[in-house]
Structure 1
Amino acid sequence: MALNYSLNQWDKLVRYVDDSHLNIDNNRAERAIKPFVIGLKNWLFSNTENGAKASAMLYSIIETAKANGMIPYDYLVKLFEELPRRKAEDNLDNLLPWNVKLG
C-alpha cells in the first residue's frame, strides 16, 4: 500500500531534485505554525471578539519578531517602553521588527 502510494506520487516526491530552492521537507513551515497549534486550546477561551482580536495581534507581533531574528521578550519590552511615549497620530514604522535594533 505505502509503496503503491509512493509510486503514484513519485513526480511530486522528487520535485525538489529539479529545483535546488525547494526543501525536501516542510519542517520550517511546521515550526512556524506550531505556536498556533499549541495555542488552539487557549483560544477556545477567547469568548469575546475583542479578546480574540487581542490574542491574534499578540501572536502576530511575537511571530513577526521571531521571523526577523528577534527575541520576542526583548522586542515586547522595547514596544512597552516606547509606545507610551508616542501620540496616537505618530508614525510607528520605526517600531516594526525589521526597523528596530535591540541591545
Structure 2
Amino acid sequence: SIPVLNALKEWLDQIAPKVLPDSKLGDAVSYTLNQWEYLTRYTQDGRMPIDNNLLERDIRIFATGRKSWLFSDTVEGARASAVVYSLMLTCRASRVEPLAWLRHVLTELPQRAGDADITDLLPFNFPKTAAA
C-alpha cells in the first residue's frame, strides 16, 4: 500500500495547484490532502484495519435500535437492551461467537457469589477462560 499511497500523494500535490478549488475535483483533492494523516494511519500499525467498515456496521445497529428503544416499557428495560447490544458487539469485536460466550456465562454466573469478580466472564476474556 505504501508505494501506491506515495504515488497518490505525489500526484495530489502536483495537481492541487492546477485545479479550481471550488470544483468537484478541487474539493476531492483538497479533502484527500486534508485527511491524509487519517487515510494513511493504518500503514503505521499492522493491527489497524484499512477502513472502518466494522465500526460503521456496529454503529448502524444502535442507530436502528433507537426506534425499537422508543417502545421499551421502562428505563430499566431500555438499559437492559443497551447492555445486551453492547455485550454482543463486544463479542464481535473480540472475535468471540456470541452464543458460545452466552452459554458459558449463563452456566458460570449462577455458580458465583453475588459479590464475586466477574471480569473474567467478559467477552474479551472468553478465549482465556475457554482454554483453561
Q: How many angstroms does 1:54 deviate by?
A: 0.5
Say whether 1:12 aligns with 2:23: no
The aligned length equals 103
Query: Structure 2 residue aligned with 1:54, among 77, 80, 86?
Result: 80
Q: Which residue is equivalent to 1:3?
A: 25
Query: 2:35, 2:49 → 1: CA distance?
Result: 11
Say whether 1:69 aligns with 2:87: no
Give CA deviations for 1:29-48 in whole Å, capped at 9, x if unaligned: 21221221232221121242
Give CA deviations for 1:59-87 in whole Å, capped at 9, x if unaligned: 11111111111011111111111111111
Distance 1:14 1:68, change over 3 A: same
Contiguous gaps of at least 5 residues in structure 2? 1-22
Contiguous gaps of at least 5 residues in structure 1? none
Indicate conservation of the 8 Å contact 2:42/2:50, yes or no. Answer: no
Structure that is richer in helix per residue: 2
Question: What is the TM-score of this pair, normalised by structure 1?
Answer: 0.77
Query: 1:14, 1:96 → 2: CA distance?
Result: 36
Query: 1:59, 1:19 → 2: CA distance?
Result: 28
AA matched with 2:69: W
Query: 2:68, 2:82 → 1: CA distance?
Result: 12
CA radius of gyration, larger in: 2
Identity rate, percent: 34
Distance 1:17 1:61, change over 3 A: closer
Q: How many angstroms does 1:19 deviate by?
A: 6.5
Indicate conservation of the 8 Å contact 2:96/2:126, yes or no. Answer: no
Q: Which residue is equivalent to 2:69?
A: 43
Query: 1:27, 1:57 → 2: CA distance?
Result: 22
